[in-house]
Amino acid sequence: MAKKKQNEQYLAQNRKARFNYAISETFEAGISLTGTEIKSVRASQITISDGFITIHDGNALLTNVHIASYAQGNQFNVDPLRTRQLLLHKREIATLAKAAQEQGVTIVPLKVYLKHGFAKILIGIGRGKKKYDKRTDIKKRDQDRELARRFKN
pLDDT tens readout for residues 63-110: 999 998 888 877 778 888 889 999 999 999 999 999 999 888 999 999
Q: Is residue 146 part of a domain?
A: yes
Q: Is residue 67 part of a domain?
A: yes
Contact 63, 89 (CB under 8 A): no
**C-alpha distances out from residue 131 to 50, 118, 128, Å:** 20, 38, 10
Tell me the pLDDT of the chain averaged across its residues. 88
Q: Is residue 3 part of a domain?
A: no
Domains of the chain: total: 1
pLDDT tens readout for residues 24-75: 999 999 999 888 889 889 999 999 999 999 999 999 999 999 998 888 877 7
Dist. CA 21–CA 116, nearest whole Å: 30
pTM of this prediction exceeds 0.85: no
Q: Is residue 1 part of a domain?
A: no
Range of the domain at 122: 11-152
CATH number at residue 85: 2.40.280.10
Q: Is residue 4 part of a domain?
A: no
